[in-house]
Amino acid sequence: MDSAASPASSGRRFLFLQGPISPFFAEIAAGLRALGHATHRVNLCLGDRLFWHGPGAVDFQGRLAEWPDFITGFLDRHRITDLVLIGEQRPYHRPAIALAKARGIAVTVTDFGYLRPDWVALEADGMGPESRFPRDPAGIVALAAQCPAPDLAEHHRDSFATQARWDMLFHLASLLPWPFRHYESFLLHHPVPAYLGTGLQLLLRRRQTAAARALLDSLAAGGAPLFLFAMQMETDYSIRAYSRFPDMDTAIAETVASFARAAPPEAQLLVKVHPLDPGLKRWARRVRRIAAAAGVADRVHYLAGALAMEPVIAACRGVVTVNSTLGVRSIAMGRATMPLGQAIYAVPGLAWLDPPDRFWTAAPPPEPALAQAFIQAMAACLHVRGCYYSRPGLDVAVAGAIRRLHLGALNRPMPG
């Protein structure tokens, strides 16, 4: 890659904060240094230190209240031009982003892609409601006209075993009292019970998946209209920061109450738990109780396990979620989709934005041309191909991220 390929490429100074629990950031930084950029890193916990290899790292061992003064001095002293991180709503990242923007520093956020499975999001400022991606149909269509048609075939597969191993290493190491005595985790739950719960769910997964598949087949064969409520992880900031719901119970209860009031009497509602939910809440029991309170105990069905979601979506007339990326799949598959939070696809013509009670009988499918333009523009402007936890997908994602950052090509199609 030519280091002089773009005016945006010369002599920039990147600061990396917390990233994916993966070598992703360390390898991007190495590539940027090879192209003539300076890279810096602030470790907030022992887990951060374990996943950073290379120069330019310092440790912040103070209290969260001291962080704004520390990061202000760091940004100014090192004349940082670019801030790169995952999770713009994490407690250390929010003030860092505000201070960076006040200084004209570019902010880049990454996470699992809106598209799945082998896409990584890389965009300016933030994701979801923080994204600069257009929210009007005309803007989406105009942007898509500048973009190549995406290759949506799966090329890389992530490793759950590697992800789980690295995740445990990061979070369990970060529980140690030395040397980051004052670190405040972004987690909602203590990692030990969460890991134990996840382990139990994995032991039960095969049986739960078989039962969910049998239930889906039985309901689909009955011919009644099916609807899906796709749960999200309560730890996800898309729930904690980008929705009005304090927990998933509230979102489920609101949806079930609307379904009871307004859905056709023969309609059935499937409530699908997130496949990585640790089971700290007994969701099957909670869903049954919510459905019984709404008078639809026989019409609301809980699905556990790791059932492939494409067949579930295909069997349903409509999908409800807070703002899960599953909504993007639902739109791509031509299903009526109702986001209850601040989803990037909460766009007229893509999603149902009118009163929820009318969704069950009046929601049309997404407009095909707009849905195609939406996917095309998102793929070209907000993503790189690859994954975080297995090679060669990790190598592909690192190379794509280096190129976007080097060229300053965020939220627009990559140069040819």
| pLDDT-based confidence at residue 6 (cuts at 50, 70, 90) | very low
Does the structure show a pLDDT above 60 at 8?
no
Would 7-171+380-407 and 206-373 be classified into the same CATH topology?
yes
pTM: 0.94
Does the pLDDT of residue 4 top 70, yes or no? no
pLDDT at 10 (0 to 100): 64
pLDDT at 11: 85
Q: For residues 229-246, give the mean pLDDT.
A: 95
CATH number of 206-373: 3.40.50.2000
Angle at CA of residue 324, ends 320 and 330, nearest 5°? 60
pLDDT mean across residues, the chain: 95
pLDDT at 3: 35
Please choose, from the candidates 53, 90, 55, 54, the residue with its C-alpha nearest in 3D space to the C-alpha of residue 71.
Answer: 90
Predicted local distance difference test score (pLDDT) of residue 1: 37
| Extents of the domains making up the chain | 7-171+380-407, 206-373
Classified by CATH at the fold level, domain 7-171+380-407 comes out as Rossmann fold (3.40.50)
pLDDT band at 415, cuts 50/70/90?
confident
pLDDT in tens, 352-365: 999 999 999 999 99
Q: What is the pLDDT of residues 128-171, one digit of tens each?
A: 899 999 999 999 999 999 999 999 999 999 999 999 999 999 99
State the average pLDDT over residues 399-415: 96
